[in-house]
Chain A
Amino acid sequence: QKEVEQNSGPLSVPEGAIASLNCTYSDRGSQSFFWYRQYSGKSPELIMSIYSNGDKEDGRFTAQLNKASQYVSLLIRDSQPSDSATYLCAVHWANNLFFGTGTRLTVIP
């Protein structure tokens, strides 16, 4: 059973703050990890991928991966109201993506 767990939230942060989203997964063999953003009524949009331990930065987003702890996180710096969405953690295994239930983020102006 492949499990991907996220805190469903909601997570509220003030504008300009750092939002921290966390995800744990059950399969130690997983090698590829993704963060998707989904606005209400829209389909998911890939925002970050990470394959090796450590940090990966892309603009205001930083993904962090710790395979030993089976933990992947997403940091959003200088949060903006437009970042308000549901963030889905996804773990790749055997040509499929296993999604967490998502964390709803609200950035308060």
Chain B
Amino acid sequence: GAVVSQHPSWVICKSGTSVKIECRSLDFQATTMFWYRQFPKKSLMLMATSNEGSKATYEQGVEKDKFLINHASLTLSTLTVTSAHPEDSSFYICSAIGQLSSYEQYFGPGTRLTVT
């Protein structure tokens, strides 16, 4: 149980374009989903927290207009990187917590974004 998927697993896009990443909880309803970014050999950095049906809460320094998060249902959250630039190239990972446990976060497999 507690499986989280992400799509796509990797994507290459041109500078200035937008990219959407999907995060799905496959076998549980996720009350809260989190979006992280990880640069090579660095630790996870929380970008934002999203609850179903409400606006996401962004961490300090994360531009909400650039990283659009939509949490339309209890099983799906999307992150859209708008007007991507090479410095946005990173490993984006979502996680989710379910209704049964409010503490344990289960991570998706991650999406590797390369902006050329």
Contact = CB atoms under 8 A, between A and B. Distances in A.
A25 interface: no
Given A95-B32, A96-B49, A46 B43 contact: no
Interface residues of B, number: 20
Interface string B92-104: 0101000000111
Majority DSSP secondary structure for residues of A touching B: strand
A87 B104 CA distance: 16
Contacts, number: 45
A45 B43 contact: no
Nearest to B44: A99
Interface in A56-109: 88, 90, 92, 95-97, 99-102
Shortest beta-carbon contacts, A-B, top 4:
A43-B110, A101-B43, A43-B107, A32-B103
Interface of A: 32, 34, 36, 41-46, 49, 88, 90, 92, 95-97, 99-102
